[in-house]
């Protein structure tokens, strides 16, 4: 599919990955509508800081409202559905909110896309649906394991999307990124919480379990994968991983960030940051063979390069002040 001349809707556009995706789409000369969650402050989240906001049509609403989603998807050609609740710790506290937003919101997007003749829908999944790896690298056929309420709702959302493809022929692609990091990421994520604590001058960095491994991917690589999958006709009806095929432990990513920031800080185990034992995902490492075959995907940013750009963004005082490093952000 050629995206030129298409009208594109990005849900969750006010978030971390969504705001980077909007930027990339606009920089390719595309017409973009960006859904930001409604609030009385008329705050558009991370969209407020992008360099092309004047070229974006910002909409304020909520994916949980089926009538609203049906309204804004009229005359839309392509939907990138990123709106979701994603913080795993908060899903232990408020699981119904995750069902309502992640499953219900995805249902609303799929139903509206079907009724309004949307040409392609990209549903954002997560590597968390795989749970602790039964084998590595993890391909798209790996069993799904709901080890947190968050991952359970993302499995449910993926199933809703797949059912609309199989039942009604909705042109869906389920995009399954592994651990994305970069500028604007929430402090609930491991890389940003390490960087923000060090940047704020702390010598004791509070972390949870540092033994699990993750497959980290710079946000620009993840976004590039999304866009190229949207263009790829072969991706319809498919679930596709985005990842690097490399894993690193939390302990080692801490050391790498320390080196990048020339810090002598040490980590301290904070019990409140530990997941319940059976909920912790011990190992994630992506098999990206499928996306390589489909679109020739490869990571353009090494972990070291991506961390350097991420650190450079976070240490800017006006960016750092947006983060409350003195509290645990769930």
CATH code at 13? 3.40.50.720
Q: What is the pLDDT of residue 18?
A: 98
Domain identity same for 186 and 175 = no
Domain identity same for 169 and 254 = no
Domain identity same for 158 and 207 = no
Kindly state the tokens that stand for 253: 């990513």
- Quick one: three-class SS letters along 129-185? HHCCCCCCCECCCCCCCCCCHHHHHHHHHHHHHHHHHHHHCCCEEEEEECEEECCCC
In Å, what is the CA distance from 287 to each residue of 59, 128, 134, 242, 284?
36, 14, 13, 8, 10
Q: Model confidence at 326, in pLDDT bands (50, 70, 90)?
A: confident
Domain identity same for 203 and 266 = yes
Domain identity same for 38 and 115 = yes
pLDDT at 279 over 90: yes
End-to-end CA distance of the chain: 39
Q: Tally the residues of the chain.
A: 330
pLDDT at 302 over 80: yes
For residue 290, count other CB atoms closer than 10 A to its CB: 20
CA distance 83 to 10: 8
Domain identity same for 296 and 306 = yes
Domain identity same for 146 and 32 = yes
Whole-prediction pTM:
0.97
Note whether residue 283 is domain-resident.
yes
Domain identity same for 84 and 203 = no
Q: Model confidence at 143, in pLDDT bands (50, 70, 90)?
A: very high
Domain identity same for 135 and 220 = yes
pLDDT at 328 over 90: no
pLDDT at 329 over 80: no
Note whether residue 13 is domain-resident.
yes
Note whether residue 2 is domain-resident.
no
Residue 250: give the domain boundaries: 182-214+246-320
For the chain, give the mean pLDDT: 97
Phi, psi of 60 (to 5 degrees): -115, 125
Question: How many domains does the chain divide into?
Answer: 2
CA distance 193 to 306: 16
What is the average per-residue pLDDT within 158-178?
A: 98
CATH code at 253? 3.90.25.10
pLDDT at 325 over 90: no
Residues 76-121 pLDDT 10s: 999 999 999 999 999 999 999 999 999 999 999 999 999 999 999 9
What is the average per-residue pLDDT within 248-274?
A: 95
Note whether residue 328 is domain-resident.
no
């Amino acid at each position: 599919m050629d995206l030129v001349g298409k009208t594109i809707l990005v849900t969750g556009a006010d978030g971390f990955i969504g705001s980077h995706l909007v930027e990339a789409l606009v920089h390719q000369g595309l017409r973009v509508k960006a859904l930001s969650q409604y609030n009385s402050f008329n705050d558009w989240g991370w969209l407020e800081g992008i360099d092309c906001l004047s070229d974006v049509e910002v909409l304020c609403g909520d994916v949980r409202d089926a009538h609203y989603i049906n309204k804004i998807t009229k005359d839309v050609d392509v939907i990138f559905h990123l709106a979701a609740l994603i913080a795993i710790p908060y899903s232990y506290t408020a699981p119904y909110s995750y069902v309502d937003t992640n499953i219900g919101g995805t249902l609303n997007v799929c139903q509206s896309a079907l009724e309004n003749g949307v040409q392609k829908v990209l549903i954002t999944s997560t590597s968390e649906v795989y749970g602790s790896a039964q084998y590595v690298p993890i391909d798209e056929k790996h069993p799904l394991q709901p080890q947190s309420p968050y991952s359970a709702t993302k499995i449910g959302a993926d199933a809703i999307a797949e059912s609309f493809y199989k039942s009604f022929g909705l042109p869906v692609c389920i995009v399954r990124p592994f651990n994305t990091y970069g500028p604007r990421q929430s402090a609930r994520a491991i890389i940003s919480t390490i960087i923000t604590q060090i940047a704020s001058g702390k010598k004791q960095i509070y972390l949870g379990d540092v033994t699990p491994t993750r497959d980290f991917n710079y946000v620009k690589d993840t976004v590039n994968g999304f866009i190229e999958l949207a263009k790829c006709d072969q991706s319809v009806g498919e679930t596709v991983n985005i990842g690097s095929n490399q894993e690193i432990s939390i302990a080692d990513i801490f050391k790498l960030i320390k080196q990048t920031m020339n810090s002598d800080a040490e980590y301290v185990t904070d019990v409140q940051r530990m997941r319940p034992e059976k909920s912790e995902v011990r190992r994630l490492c992506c098999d990206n063979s499928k996306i390589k075959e489909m679109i020739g995907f490869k990571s353009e940013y090494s972990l070291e390069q991506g961390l350097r750009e991420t650190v450079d963004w976070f240490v800017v005082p006006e960016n750092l002040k947006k983060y409350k490093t003195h509290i645990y952000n769930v």
